[in-house]
Amino acid sequence: MSSQVSVIHLETGKHLYGGALQVAYLIKGLREIAPSIKNLLVIPNDSHLKTVVKGVETIELSLSGELDPRPLFTLLRILKGYRERGQKTILHIHSRRGADLWGPIAAIFSKTPYVITRRVDNPEPHSIQRLKYKRASKVVAISSAIYEMLTSYGVKRHQLALVPSAVDTDTFRPGGDLEWFQREFEIQHGTRPIGIVAQFIPRKGHRYLIEAIPEVLAREPKARFLFFGKGPLRDQVIQELQAMGLGWACRFPGFRQDMPRILPCLECLVHPALMEGLGVAVLQAMACKVLVVATDRGGLKDLIRHEETALRLPGSDLAQEISSSLHRVLDTTNKGLFERIKDTAYRMVTTRFSCRGMAMAYKKIYDEVS
């Protein structure tokens, strides 16, 4: 790769989870392993990425929605400048939210090679698929499920690469401050904290956990449930649990940027997703040696092996499966098995899902397409 190569990272997500967090990890990793690469970050003006990615040239966008064409004009101006200077350039499109519409158009018009990372497994119209992927130099899937989905869209295998999302295991690691945790979330000593970390949207499966809570509490009144995240269904979930008379056992901390401090204090993480690109919250919990109870839908198949790395929810009756699994979790006679599961999951994350490994995989891709 030429020392003059620049990678323009387009990420239109605003919050520090999902793709935006992965962009932060990638740029950090690239600066360590490939300092000759010049990274340019193009983000919304209210993105939280700028608070964590320091020392990198950043261009901020004013966006009013996915169809706002301003990213197109900004990218065309940037790419024209690089071309006039004879600079080798790659456009890396990291997100949806309009980025995967205007990014490919800008790259095609400016004759710039582009890489597009696909992070979600929900379907999209054939016309959109052709626009985004046909001219891409590389299409990156973050899980084997997304990889196979992309082949079903007609993306050629020579265009495809599989690069899993990463976890910063220097930040997400075992060991928590239980006294702080109990004060912060008003949880008494001796209670059993169970978490769900997900956007409040239908495919994350909150409703199945809600249905399971009464039976779990009937067996273990000391269980407490913490619902982390934002989303359109959050108020509905809160109201439903309060109407069921279960508000006393539930907490709704919202989106927290101190999850590395919080996760190690949980007894387990429940992730009943109906669709999932990979499951970064699951990886983060595993990195903290927290037991995971999850479906193996979509990209979760790459992470969830029953009684080896997690307790798997088969999905035929999710509410009952969650209840039964949490009954096992809260039964202290199973402690030995769960310690082995947590150790295996921890080794998997630290060896297969490191930030350095992700950065090296993307550098190889940039070498191929530049």
**Number of Cβ atoms within 10 Å of the Cβ of 176:** 18
**Number of Cβ atoms within 10 Å of the Cβ of 335:** 10
This prediction's pTM? 0.86
Whether pLDDT at 2 is above 50: no
Per the structure block, which two tokens stand in for 229?
Answer: 């995240």
Whether pLDDT at 110 is above 70: yes
- For residue 30, is it left (φ>0), alpha (ψ between -120 and 50) or beta? alpha
Whether pLDDT at 1 is above 70: no
With cut-offs at 50, 70 and 90, classify the pLDDT of residue 202.
Answer: very high
**Number of Cβ atoms within 10 Å of the Cβ of 236:** 13
CATH topology agreement for domains 6-166+354-369 and 178-352: yes
What is the per-residue pLDDT for 370? 87
Domain map of the chain by residue range? 6-166+354-369, 178-352
- Compute the distance between CA of residue 155 and CA of residue 217 in angstroms, rounded to an integer: 48
Q: What is the mean pLDDT of residues 191-212?
A: 97
- Cβ–Cβ < 8 Å for 286, 346: yes
CATH architecture, domain 6-166+354-369? 3-Layer(aba) Sandwich (3.40)
- Compute the distance between CA of residue 132 and CA of residue 104 in angstroms, rounded to an integer: 6
> Which listed CATH number (1.10.10.10, 3.40.50.2000, 3.20.20.110, 3.10.690.10) goes with 178-352?
3.40.50.2000
Helix (H) or strand (E) holding 219: helix 206-219
Residue-wise pLDDT for 318-338, tens only, equals 999 999 999 999 998 989 999
- Compute the distance between CA of residue 194 and CA of residue 63 in angstroms, rounded to an integer: 37
Question: Are β-strands 57-61 and 250-254 bridged in parallel, bridged antiparallel, or unpaired?
Answer: unpaired
Instruction: Tell me the CB-side half-sphere exposure of residue 328, using CA atoms within 13 A.
Output: 17
- Compute the distance between CA of residue 330 and CA of residue 90 in angstroms, rounded to an integer: 50
| Cα 258 off chain centre by | 16
